[in-house]
Structure 1
Amino acid sequence: MRLLLWLVALMATAIGIAVTARFNPGNVVFFYPPHRIDLSLNLFVVLAALLFLLLYGLARAVRSTLRMPERVAAYRQRKREREANKGLRDALKALFEGRFGHAEKAAMRAADLPENAGLAALIGARAAHRMREPARRDAWLAGIASDNAMKTARLMTVTELLVDDHKPEGALEAVAELNASGQRHIHALQWAMKANQQARNWPEVLRLVRTLDKRNALHPALSSRLRELAYEALLGEGGHDAESIRGVWAGVPAADRLQPAIAARAAAAFNARGLHDEARVIVEDALKAGWDERVVRAYRDAAGPEGSPTLLAQIERCEAWLREHPGDAELALTLGSLCLRQKLWGKAQRYLEQALSDATGPDAVREAHLKLAQLHEALGQREQADYHFRQCALATVL
């Protein structure tokens, strides 16, 4: 329908021009003495239109010729951009596919375009890192060191790759530079925590864990485990004396003090330095918050002196706990050990035999046999003592 309308309009125009030209009696005369040229007006209009079209075509040809170098350069630039952008897409695809050699080669093509150079360098660095080529990785990253637009991305990449390469010192330098620029987003904090963990900078690990916990950026199980590792390292350092271990424990938040693993480690540290009274307080507070065999185990190492009111109070407290937890082998073993220390032979034998019957782990079995051997030896019952010594030895071997 549209074509038909165009044909009708074209025919109408042609008819109009033909009718107008037929009834046009005008003439055009050109004088150039001694010459004279007479033309009809219709022919003059046709010749003028043809001349205009010729001049217009010549002008376009000259203009196109003059612009040819610019058009060739633009064509080459567009071609280079297409190839570079295709290289960038190929590099990303190969990186995600795990084809790191192809990713690095494609990144080299993508880097030909200045706008892609930063991203291509990051892709190339990651690909080289996965291929265990640290020299090429560092060369890629050094190439964009002066690019301020890529500073944050470069520092985050450096931190991640150096942590993965177990080089926490360099990773922490990148983190410090990142923090100096005011960038403190969650992902940076997570990698900073990993770098400090590798560097065994446990106070900083604890600070970062608390910060990430406030932002709900850590799984509760991971947060709890990281706290346990940090406090275990801080409390287990061999250079602590009594005052320094008290200082470390004073810096532990009240909520963390009640965690079983942390309380057990702290009680063991206090016991190792002869601070049994403080170890008992730690254990008792933790057990009030929640029952845990690891904490009970630390309680028997904090036994008071023989015949002291402290030891008797411990025995009474353990008997009360045993009524609440009748099948706890660690508690029965602790109570039997305390009674053995107090020379309450009958109670000690009963609780130790109960612990032996309820015990499931080899450590508890071995210690129960050892305590029973010591009890029978103290009572002069050589045969029974030898039997439990043998059983203790077998449990150690097995």
Structure 2
Amino acid sequence: MRFVFWIVGLFALAVLIGLASTLNTGYAILFVPPYRMEVSFNLLIIAVVVLVLVAYAVLRLLGLAANLPQEVRTFQRQKKLRAARHALREAAISMFEGRYQRAEREALKSIDDEYADENRALALMIAARSAASVGDNAKRDGYLSRLESMPERIQLARHMVEAQIRMDAKQPLEALAAIERARAISSNLTSALRLELKIRMLLKQPEQVLQITEKLLKADALEAEQARRYRLAAYRQQLVGLGSEREVRDWLKRIPGVEKQNPDLVVDISRHLIALDTYPLAAELIATALSDEEQATPELARELGMLAEHIDSQRRLTLMRDAENWLKSRPRDHMLLLALGRLALAEQLWGKAQSYLEASVSMQPTLCAHAELSKLFATLGKDDKAAQHQALALKIALQQGC
């Protein structure tokens, strides 16, 4: 339809021009001494219009010819820029594919022909990460140093990439320095806090681990179970540095009650106290843990049995009464039966010791239970039974060792 309108319009214009030319009968005189020329006024108008159009076309061609070198340079620049952007995309894809050498090669192609600082910084970070992945530390450090001259808005990404690279290279101090620079730019960046948490744990800085864990937990950036594992690891690191019973007691006061109920932590604390020859406190902690059905574990019962020979008679008898009550709700706990047998053996209650130890063996034969029975029968002068349980203990030991 548009084409029809154009045809109609052109014919109408031609008709109007034709009518106008018939109405205009004047003429123009061109006088250039010694020549004189008379021409139709209509022809003069057409000639002027044609002259203007020709002049415009000539000037346009001259302008294009003058700008041709610049146009060629712009075209070449755009061609190189497209190639650089393509290389940057290929570098990113190759890095995620694990093809680090190709990623570094493609990233280097895009750096020289790229004018945007963000893209150049991205290419350098890809190159640095790729060089680090293949173990070329010299190139890695060179790429990271080139990022220092980039604009400020690039520096946060640079520090985070450097921190991860240093962490992967087992350089926790350098990684921590990079994280601190990133935290100076964005103090509440959760990804930086997560990485710092791992670094602090690696550097055995439990106080900082606990602080960062709480920050991440408040920011909903850490699951409750993950936070509990980090706390447990931090408490274990703190426990190693405690050298006396008083220090352990003061430390226990600072631990939240929920964390004190962790059976794994209780086992670690009791073993540390045993190493410090602080047996009564260890027995107290284990007994408190075993009294809780949800907290009681076979490992705790095993540790209780190990304390039998190191505590006084009154405490042994108290623990035996408590353990017999716990046994009512856990009658098939072979470790609890073993602990009762050891307590009775230490109190020289031979009959009780034998019944508890034999019950433990009937539930699950263990090296410790057979060894204790062998010791008991040897004390009672029953050498045949002692030898029998000694042989069973040796058999289990060989099976576990092989």
TM-score (norm 1): 0.91
Within 5 Å, give how 1:226-375 maps onto structure 2.
226-236=230-240, 240-287=243-290, 288=292, 290-303=295-308, 308-359=313-364, 365-375=366-376
CA-to-partner distance for each residue in 1:50-74, whole Å, 9 max, x for gaps? 1111221222233333333432332
Q: Does 1:30 align with 2:30?
A: yes
Cross-structure match for 1:73 = 73
Cross-structure match for 1:158 = 162
C-alpha separation in 2, matches of 1:224 and 1:199: 19
* SS of equivalent to 1:327: coil
Match for residue 204 of structure 1 among 205, 208, 232: 208
Taking only aligned residues, the RMSD between alpha carbons, in angstroms, comes to 2.2
C-alpha separation in 2, matches of 1:57 and 1:305: 111
C-alpha separation in 2, matches of 1:223 and 1:358: 36
C-alpha separation in 2, matches of 1:368 and 1:114: 76
Cross-structure match for 2:218 = 214
C-alpha separation in 1, matches of 2:230 and 2:35: 109
Distance 1:307 1:230, change over 3 A: closer
Q: Say if 1:196 and 1:205, in contact at 8 Å, map to a contact too.
A: yes
C-alpha separation in 2, matches of 1:383 and 1:161: 65
Distance 1:99 1:305, change over 3 A: closer
Q: Say if 1:258 and 1:285, in contact at 8 Å, map to a contact too.
A: no
C-alpha separation in 1, matches of 2:339 and 2:221: 40
Cross-structure match for 1:56 = 56
Paired AA for residue 170 in structure 1: E
* Farther off after superposition, 226-235 or 154-163: 226-235
State the 1:306 CA deviation.
Answer: 6.6
CA-to-partner distance for each residue in 1:95-115, whole Å, 9 max, x for gaps? 222222221111011212131
Runs of 4+ in structure 1 deviating by more than 4 angstroms, as ranges, are 304-307
C-alpha separation in 2, matches of 1:304 and 1:396: 23
Match for residue 189 of structure 2 among 166, 169, 185: 185
* SS of equivalent to 1:30: strand
* SS of equivalent to 1:265: helix
C-alpha separation in 2, matches of 1:291 and 1:260: 7
Q: Say if 2:124 and 2:144, in contact at 8 Å, map to a contact too.
A: yes
Cross-structure match for 1:134 = 137
Q: Say if 2:287 and 2:319, in contact at 8 Å, map to a contact too.
A: no
Report percent identity of matched pairs: 28
CA-to-partner distance for each residue in 1:169-214, whole Å, 9 max, x for gaps? 2111111222222333111111112222222333323333333233
Q: Give the unaligned 5+ runs of structure 2.
A: none
C-alpha separation in 2, matches of 1:306 and 1:133: 59
C-alpha separation in 2, matches of 1:102 and 1:172: 30
Cross-structure match for 1:6 = 6
Paired AA for residue 269 in structure 1: H
Q: Say if 1:330 and 1:359, in contact at 8 Å, map to a contact too.
A: no
